[in-house]
Structure 1
Amino acid sequence: MLAACATQQPLVSDETIEEKAQTEPEIVYKNFEPETFYSLMVAELAGDRQRYDIALRNYVQQAHQTRDKAVAARATRIARFLGARQVTLNSSLLWLELEPNNEEAQVIAATELAQAGRLSESIKLAKNLSEKDVDSLFLSIASRAEQSTDTQREGLIKEYTELLEIHPEKPELIIGKGLLLAQSGSVDEALKLAQGVLKDDPMNVPAAKLETNILRELERNDEAKARLSSMLEQDPRNLSLRLHYARLLTHDDIEGSKEQFEILNEQKPGDPDLMFSLALLNQELGLFDEAKALYSELIHTPNRGSSAHFYLGEIANAQGDTETALVHYQQVGAGQDFMLAINRASDILLSQNRLEDFGDQFNKLRRDFPQQEERLYLSQSNLLVRHAMLEEAVNILTEGLTFHTQSSSLLYARAMANEQRDLIHLTEEDLRTILNYDTTNATALNALGYTLADRTDRFEEAFELISEAFALNPDDPAIIDSMGWVHYRLGNYQQAITHLREAMKAFPDHEIAAHLGEVLWVVGEKQEAEAIWQEGLRLNPDSDIIPGVIERLKAEQ
């Protein structure tokens, strides 16, 4: 997590845009209709009362309705203040349309276009900006190209090359081109560009970031660390430089990284992102008291509060304090930790057999997120299956199917749960229902065919179903495994071995190993069978399938 942003370059700074706003002549609003005037007054009053959602909504609405440049400017600035990226982009583009020569509008629009990945549009605007504004934009555009296609990136490299012909000494263009080349795999050329900038300007931080990222990729970590350490000796107050150094150290020197984040927290006290990074490092090092102290401060911050609750829950859970863990998990809001927190809380409730609380939790989720209802029924049933509560899982899936009658996901999950309950007729019923809706559903065809091959003597019927699945998806290791298994059940041992070897090569797995080992054992290749089983147990030491096969086959001798 700490290293994830190591290659990101900052977009145009807040200071640059604020300076631009302060130097622009005051924009005069035109006379408005009473309804518009009332709406804008409500927005201003809402802003005074920190109801920024109302202020933003009204200003955005009136910007598009009145097409007034001052209203569009105000809407853009409010959206940007709130971090509403898409709204900022839309409002800034409207402002730019209404006032095409306004440099603040150009800077914000170009910045947001880069943030949104619309890089060719962003660079088109950047070309028209003054040198002061454009420098960081060229770095930002290049860094955002990571997710672009090869063709898009080639187009950007061409743009930067042409710009360098006009401005050959501009370091931001050189570094930007280096970033693009590195993303394209031309690391040697990119490294040469970065080191060329550093030769002329040894304290150029963006060039140092590019160089050290490439050196780390080339496994030359000592050189990368030496470069950043030397620069920090000369400029110890450079936060961006120290942050990059701290992130670099997370790869092979956690203690050193912690030391750097402690310095950063002293240099910029109260910064939630720096505090969060330090808390993560303390947690990884097992310094739970220090980590908890930082997380406890962060739970009151808007951007890090949910994550802080999640990790406080993780620490409490690891220490056996499940009630405290539950409290924290249940305070995690929407975001990247949300579903994982729900799963953790569910595991605690189910391990304590608190089925009513578990059910209430998911009922509330379905009320709060009705658009996710089907997915939530599936998640709830998966958790019950994981805790071997198969009947309860089937009941939840049946409830879900009353609202989503043709859901392949819910039908498939119920089929698999009933298979574990040895209710094969119900498994077959649900899988055939899926196939009634979708005759080319390879997953359902394979599952039904495998179930018939494994749990009944209807081998010919199983072979037909698996063959249909194989024709639809011949590279799926699960289907290849099923094909091998049904050949084994039909007595076609060599064909079975061929398919099972192919499946094991494509997807090494303990269940495939169990199948392949069994066929090899039956044909007399017992030494190889045992080697395959050992490989399967290495892949999954907790496998109960392989020991069961071994016990059964040896008992049959």
Structure 2
Amino acid sequence: MKFKYLLLAPAALVAAGCAQLSPKEAVQPVVEPERAERSPVLPNVNLTNPLLFQYLVSEVAGQRGDMGLATEGMLDLAKTTRDPRLAKRATEMALQSRREAPALEAATLWQQIDPDEAQARQAVAAILLNSGRLQEAKPHLEKLLAGEGDKVGGALLHLNQMLSRQKDKPATLALVQELAAPYLNRAEAHFTIAYAAWSAGQDELALREIREASQLRSGWEAAVLFQGQLLQRTSISETLEFYRSLLGEYPKMQDVRLAYARLLVSDRQYVEARAQFEKLLNDLPGNPEVSLSVGLLAMQLKDYDAAEKHLKQALAGQYRDEAMVRMYLGQLFDERERYDEAADWYGSVGRGEQYVPAQIRRAAMLAKQGKLSEARQYLRQIPVLNNQQRVQVVVAEAHLLRDAKAYDEAFELLGKALEKLPNYPDLLYDHAMAAEKLGKIDVLEQDLRKLIQIKPDYAHAYNALGYTLADRTERLDEARQLIEKALELAPDDFFIMDSLGWVHYRMGQLDKAEDTLRRAYTGQHDAEIAAHLGEVLWARGKREEAEKIWRDALKENPGHETLLNVINKFIPAK
């Protein structure tokens, strides 16, 4: 069962911190199409004292925060005068006060008074959409699109923004298909349909539409990135080949190269990923984000000189999170066993979000040098600002004790902390893990069930409880249900997938166990997953493959306790 670590490994940072944009973000920023200035036709109304007085009363009421009175007065003025400027102002006031009915009434009046004003029609459409009245909004949207002429492409993309908050995604997709139907000779129409299809969970339709968009407008990077993200849901290898082929045709597509490099990191192809990042660095010299990515990949490949160079370049280029770069420079020198320099870098992290994690790393470095007592003392003198930071420090100390196999002390430390802070998820989780090491399964179950009650979306709590029940008891059906719930909450978590494979194995479902564990190991080459997969393969008579997986995992994780135990169980030392 996996513990959560205090800091992501460098490759994990590249993969997580450089995650691809969602399709929604890939479309952003989409600006509303520019409109030519026009002067509305104004009514022939004399500005009488009563009209002026009512106008001033409405504006003053608005300034004082009484938007109900302000809207009522301004809307009444607009009805009396039929002045589009007053109808517009009444619409603004009603929207500001979030009063849907008067906002729609004012906007409708504005649109009736000035039927050629696109802003008025757009206001009516937006208000109707905001209340989910899609079909009522449809004729207004159709007229808005028809009025765009050659700029209709931008207006079609703007639909994504207007419709993004709709809860009924299938109905939204149907509306978009109807609105886009007259413009299917334009790439933007297919992009908009693809986005709506993706939002509605219809990936196949989304993929067909985005491919059509790319054919109509070759080299459109936004469409390419969207297509890549859709492909990635089903096949990493197919997505990599798609990016590779496209870059052969369009080598200057920097965003596509960036997406390709990030996906290579996720697929653990670090050497090729580094080559792609270095190409980006040549095209974008001095770019701190790319420098950081290259530095972290070099660090993953243990090319420490190159890692130092690029991380310092990211720092010199004013990377947006300077403290994070300083912490990774500390980790770099820590791995090189240049502890004084590592301590300097950790110490240079200023007060802020990264301060406590950096000091925790510094304490872990002391423990690694055999100075456990000094490391614990260092942790206890870290100034904390709140209970959350206090919990971080306690959990860090417990991890040091766990690594030193001082399980009783870790359990006691976490227990005392829980007496003062009984409802903190991280304390409950780690206390449960310490209990597991001591065989206190009843305490583990009590902690994790309380954690699930406090935080019902905490996937790792369901997983930890399910795995423990599967591994230590015969409550296998209950274990499977807990793990399936965890996987529902975190469907892409390979460690939870490993737990599911393990419970299948314990239930005698060897086919399911092998299939699930292979998928988990493909996604995450972890030593514990390797141990489980090897055991299942051994049970199925595939002993040569099991031994190979164990040996390969042991090369990368020498001394791993779970891995050594399973190897000794099936291949006793002679």
Q: TM-score range with shorter-chain normalisation?
A: 0.5 to 0.7
CA deviations over 1:455-504 (Å, ceiling 9, x no partner): xxxxxxx65xx36745865979759868988xxxxxxxxxx9x4678656
The one-letter amino acid paired with 2:204 is G
- Given that residues 190 and 209 in structure 2 are in contact (C-alpha distance below 8 angstroms), is that contact kept between their aligned partners in structure 1? no
Distance, in Å, in 1 between the alignment partners of 2:378 and 2:426 is: 25
Out of 204, 228, 234, the position equivalent to 2:250 is 228
* Change beyond 3 A, Cα 1:188–1:444: closer
* Change beyond 3 A, Cα 1:218–1:360: closer
* Change beyond 3 A, Cα 1:206–1:349: same
Identity of counterpart residues, as a percentage? 13
Cα deviation for residue 161 of structure 1 reads 2.6
CA deviations over 1:206-234 (Å, ceiling 9, x no partner): 556667878973824454124434xx6xx
Cα deviation for residue 284 of structure 1 reads 3.2
Q: Does 1:173 align with 2:189?
A: yes
Q: Does 1:10 align with 2:28?
A: yes
Distance, in Å, in 2 between the alignment partners of 1:64 and 1:413 is: 51
TM-score, normalized by length of structure 1? Answer: 0.56
- Given that residues 310 and 332 in structure 1 are in contact (C-alpha distance below 8 angstroms), is that contact kept between their aligned partners in structure 2? no
Aligned counterpart, 2:313:
293
Q: Does 1:364 align with 2:364?
A: no
Aligned counterpart, 2:414:
397
Local SS of the residue matching 2:384: helix
CA deviations over 1:267-294 (Å, ceiling 9, x no partner): xxxxxxx532344235535353244133
Distance, in Å, in 1 between the alignment partners of 2:291 and 2:448 is: 52
- Given that residues 431 and 447 in structure 2 are in contact (C-alpha distance below 8 angstroms), is that contact kept between their aligned partners in structure 1? no
- Given that residues 242 and 264 in structure 1 are in contact (C-alpha distance below 8 angstroms), is that contact kept between their aligned partners in structure 2? no
Greater RCO between the two (CA within 8 Å, min separation 6)? 2
Structure 1 segment 116-515 matched on structure 2, within 5 A: 128=144, 131=148, 135-136=153-154, 138-139=156-157, 142=160, 152=169, 154-179=170-195, 184-186=203-205, 189-190=208-209, 193-198=212-217, 206=222, 217=239, 219-221=241-243, 223-229=245-251, 242-244=254-256, 247-248=259-260, 254-255=274-275, 257-264=277-284, 274-281=287-294, 283-284=296-297, 286=306, 288-298=308-318, 303-319=320-336, 320=338, 321-327=341-347, 333=353, 344-345=361-362, 347-348=364-365, 350-351=367-368, 352-353=371-372, 354-361=375-382, 364=384, 366-367=386-387, 369=388, 378=395, 381-382=398-399, 384-405=401-422, 410=427, 413-414=430-431, 416-418=433-435, 420=437, 424=439, 427=440, 430-431=443-444, 447=468, 463=474, 466=475, 469-470=478-479, 498=508, 503=513, 506-507=516-517, 509=529, 512=532
The one-letter amino acid paired with 1:12 is V
* Change beyond 3 A, Cα 1:503–1:263: closer
* Change beyond 3 A, Cα 1:276–1:193: same
TM-score, normalized by length of structure 2? Answer: 0.54
Distance, in Å, in 1 between the alignment partners of 2:467 and 2:246 is: 51
Unaligned runs of 5+ in 1: 38-61, 70-89, 233-240, 267-273, 452-461, 486-495
Distance, in Å, in 2 between the alignment partners of 1:203 and 1:449 is: 51
Q: CA RMSD in A?
A: 6.0
The one-letter amino acid paired with 1:430 is V
Distance, in Å, in 2 between the alignment partners of 1:66 and 1:322 is: 64
Cα deviation for residue 9 of structure 1 reads 2.0
* Change beyond 3 A, Cα 1:478–1:110: same
- Given that residues 276 and 294 in structure 1 are in contact (C-alpha distance below 8 angstroms), is that contact kept between their aligned partners in structure 2? yes
The one-letter amino acid paired with 1:399 is K
350-359 vs 180-189, greater mean Cα deviation? 180-189
Cα deviation for residue 538 of structure 1 reads 3.9
- Given that residues 309 and 328 in structure 1 are in contact (C-alpha distance below 8 angstroms), is that contact kept between their aligned partners in structure 2? yes
The one-letter amino acid paired with 1:358 is L
Cα deviation for residue 356 of structure 1 reads 2.5
- Given that residues 394 and 414 in structure 1 are in contact (C-alpha distance below 8 angstroms), is that contact kept between their aligned partners in structure 2? yes
* Change beyond 3 A, Cα 1:366–1:484: same
* Change beyond 3 A, Cα 1:478–1:418: same
The one-letter amino acid paired with 2:313 is A
Unaligned runs of 5+ in 2: 1-14, 41-54, 73-94, 111-116, 232-237, 265-271, 299-305, 454-460, 485-495, 519-528
